[in-house]
């Protein structure tokens, strides 16, 4: 690249500033201009819920470097030698002449910027459902720092107010805790049967439902919002749903985002099957002089190679580096994503990647699944916390198609191991042989993720035969006759149990001496608290000639239906 080439970057939040900064590092003589319609630049959008909650006291903290320097227009100009035009809208682009028409929002002044390379980092826009009342005062969307300020500062003291969150995706989940920390009475409405419906399978989402309810959140599932109602002054007062009215002082609409493709459409750039901008491995659009990255583009799914729209701040920053490299003559391809996400809800950590079981089956995969609940470090340590791992594995290739991990313990490092395995295209059995860091304060001797991989191997080889809790419940609802074998101690059964006439309690230690109580012509489903003993029971019974034995994966911990719990 010639030293005086001109690069115009449209968008100044995540991908855009990353492109600009990386270009100036690679080619300090390049002329780089950022055009941003808002006032603020390079802020951590994923930190907005923590600003609303009060954990982040000043919005400038979301724009600061680790050393505390705020990344404002002066910073970009003086430190990075990057020209920033904020409060400026990129109204149009003439790709033939390679000119951007930039209009100052407050004055209407128009500036023409010529470029050698153009970068679209224009992000996404909130989806606005066809619901009357979205324009009422007190109804909010959350995407920018200004949006968060309207909720936290301009709404006054939030304590005691009634907050309604429409949508149980990642933003809705995180803002639920933020509202609660501000002392609000919170109701969450989701039209699907579970929260995070596109990210988690039902038996994993169940634990999020329990955490919400345990923290005083009113959760309304399978419910449709019909209208948002206001008073004579235009202030929101309630939300009307398919089952009634819910009092509301503040409403957050969090039903997803759509890629911002206005400029791309006007320029005739090719869009992908997801509706986002189509790019190649170097983030080039159908016009070789124009790049695009961040929430406005689609990516390749590393699991199945298909197009995926998975907007994420981390991905946007990676895009920025790839784009800058290619503009400067360094070919660094972007391989794709697997749809990884992680969030925190009160005392629960939630992560996922790849395909859910439902998605994998809908795409024609023949799969086995694993549910592994276990403490995240040596069980004898007081701060050990439970995590539940779910693997979705293709039978034919033994590759991990997806994973979900929830629990109060450390889910992140186990998810990262899984993501790396998926990206490498390796089978699940490889995980079992990884030399992971071990000491009792960090993991069990056989890390949770290694145990989950071993469970998958047992199933692939026909050693560990099991039903998921959902499959067991379906058999119950059909009225099927089987023995539901609880191999825990009687005391454990008193503390927590499933009440069902099929239940037979035989502790594992007495199983071999009690075989006369178990007919060989009837299906037997052993289980315990986490089904470690359930699996042991299955192996014992198979060894004794029983042919209809499958344990229940995940045990009582993963049972998402009614159970009796005594203190």
CA–CA distance from 439 to each of 22, 378, 389, 436, 450 (Å)? 39, 8, 20, 10, 15
In terms of Cα–Cα distance, which of 182, 208, 35 is closest to 113? 35
Residues in the chain: 567
Return the structure tokens found at 400: 């991990």
Exposure string (b/e) for 404-440, b if CB count within 10 Å is 16 or more?
Answer: bbbbbbbbebbbebbbebbbeeebbbebbeeeeeeee
Contact 107, 217 (CB under 8 A): no
Burial 322-340 (b: 16+ CB within 10 A, else e): bbbbbbbeeeeebebbbbb
* Order of all β-strands in the sheet with 400-407: 341-345, 348-354, 400-407, 386-394, 367-375
| Structure-token pair, residue 418 | 């899984």
Q: Which residues are catalytic?
A: 46
Q: Name the percent of the chain in helix, strand, coil, to the closest 5.
A: 30, 25, 45
Tell me the CA distances in angstroms from 268 to 10, 117, 120, 217, one per residue in order.
17, 17, 14, 46
Distances in whole angstroms, Cα of residue 3 to Cα of each of 33, 97, 118, 188: 15, 21, 16, 54
Q: Which two tokens stand for residue 393?
A: 């594995």
Q: DSSP states of 449-516 as a string?
A: HHHHHHHHHHHHTTSS-EE-HHHHHHHHHTT---EEEE-S-HHHHHHEE---TTEEE--GGGSGGGGG
Axis crossing angle, helix 202-214 with helix 469-477, rounded to the nearest 10: 90
Strands 31-35 and 6-10, sheet pairing: parallel
Structure-token match 């391989």, residue found: 335
Side-chain-facing half-sphere of 72: CA atoms under 13 Å: 8
**Residue from 23, 73, 88, 22 nearest 43 by CA:** 73
Query: 217 near 224, Cβ under 8 Å?
Result: no
Q: Sign (positive/negative) of CA torsion 292, 297, 301, 304?
A: negative
Counting DSSP H helices and E strands in the chain, the numbers are 14, 32
The DSSP secondary structure of 59-81, one letter per residue, reads GGGGGB-TTS-B-SHHHHHHTT-
| Tokens 């603020």 found at | 40
- For 243-388, where are the alpha helices, taking DSSP H only? 262-267, 313-327, 357-362
Q: How far apart are CA 494 and CA 510, in angstroms?
A: 18
**Cα separation, 225 vs 190, whole angstroms:** 9
């Amino acid at each position: 690249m010639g030293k005086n080439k001109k690069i115009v970057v449209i968008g100044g939040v995540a991908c855009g500033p990353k492109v600009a900064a990386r270009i100036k590092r690679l080619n300090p003589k390049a002329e780089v201009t950022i055009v941003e319609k808002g006032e603020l630049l390079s802020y951590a959008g994923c930190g907005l819920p923590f600003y609303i909650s009060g954990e982040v006291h000043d919005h400038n903290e979301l724009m600061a470097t680790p050393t505390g320097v705020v990344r404002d227009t002066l910073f970009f100009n003086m430190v990075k030698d990057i020209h920033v035009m904020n409060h400026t809208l990129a109204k149009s682009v003439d790709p033939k002449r390679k000119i951007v028409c930039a209009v100052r929002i407050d004055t209407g002044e128009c500036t023409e910027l010529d470029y050698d390379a153009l970068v679209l980092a224009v992000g996404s826009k909130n989806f606005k459902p066809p619901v009357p009342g979205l324009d009422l005062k007190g109804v909010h969307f959350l995407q920018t720092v200004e949006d968060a300020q309207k909720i936290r500062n301009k709404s006054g003291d939030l304590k005691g107010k009634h907050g309604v969150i429409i949508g149980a995706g990642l933003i809705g989940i995180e803002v639920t805790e933020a509202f609660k920390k501000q002392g609000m009475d919170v109701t969450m409405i989701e039209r699907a049967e579970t929260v995070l419906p596109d990210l988690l399978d039902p038996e994993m989402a169940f634990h999020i439902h329990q955490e919400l309810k345990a923290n005083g959140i009113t959760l309304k599932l399978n419910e449709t919002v019909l209208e948002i109602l206001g008073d004579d002054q235009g202030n929101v007062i309630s939300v009307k749903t398919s089952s009634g009215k819910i009092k509301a002082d503040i409403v957050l609409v969090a039903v997803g985002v759509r890629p911002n493709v206005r400029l791309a459409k006007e320029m005739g750039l090719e869009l992908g099957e997801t509706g986002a901008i189509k790019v190649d491995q170097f983030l080039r659009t159908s016009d070789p002089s124009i790049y695009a990255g961040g929430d406005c583009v689609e990516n390749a799914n590393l699991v199945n190679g298909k197009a995926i729209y998975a907007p994420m701040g981390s991905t946007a920053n990676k895009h920025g580096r790839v784009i800058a490299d290619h503009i400067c003559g360094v070919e660094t391809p972007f391989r794709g994503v697997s749809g990884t996400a992680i969030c925190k809800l009160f005392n629960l950590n939630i992560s996922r990647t790849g395909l859910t079981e439902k998605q994998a089956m809908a795409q024609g995969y023949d799969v086995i699944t694993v549910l592994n609940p276990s403490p995240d470090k040596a069980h004898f340590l007081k701060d050990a916390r439970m995590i539940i791992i779910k693997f979705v594995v293709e039978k034919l290739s033994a590759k991990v198609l997806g994973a979900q991990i929830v629990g109060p313990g450390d889910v992140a490092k186990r998810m990262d191991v899984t993501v790396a395995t998926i990206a490498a295209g390796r089978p699940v059995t490889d995980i079992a042989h990884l030399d992971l860091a071990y000491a009792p304060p960090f993991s069990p001797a056989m890390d949770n993720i290694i145990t989950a991989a071993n469970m998958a191997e047992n199933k692939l080889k026909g050693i560990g035969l099991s039903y998921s809790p959902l499959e067991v419940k379906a058999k119950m609802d059909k009225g099927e006759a089987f023995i539901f074998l609880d191999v825990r101690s009687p005391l454990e059964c008193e503390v927590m149990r499933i009440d069902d006439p099929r239940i037979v309690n035989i502790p594992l230690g007495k199983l071999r001496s009690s075989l006369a109580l178990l007919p060989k012509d009837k299906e037997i489903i052993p289980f315990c608290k986490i089904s470690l003993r359930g699996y042991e029971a299955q192996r014992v019974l198979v060894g004794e000639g029983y042919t209809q034995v499958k344990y229940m994966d995940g045990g009582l911990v993963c049972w998402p239906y009614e159970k009796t719990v005594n203190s």
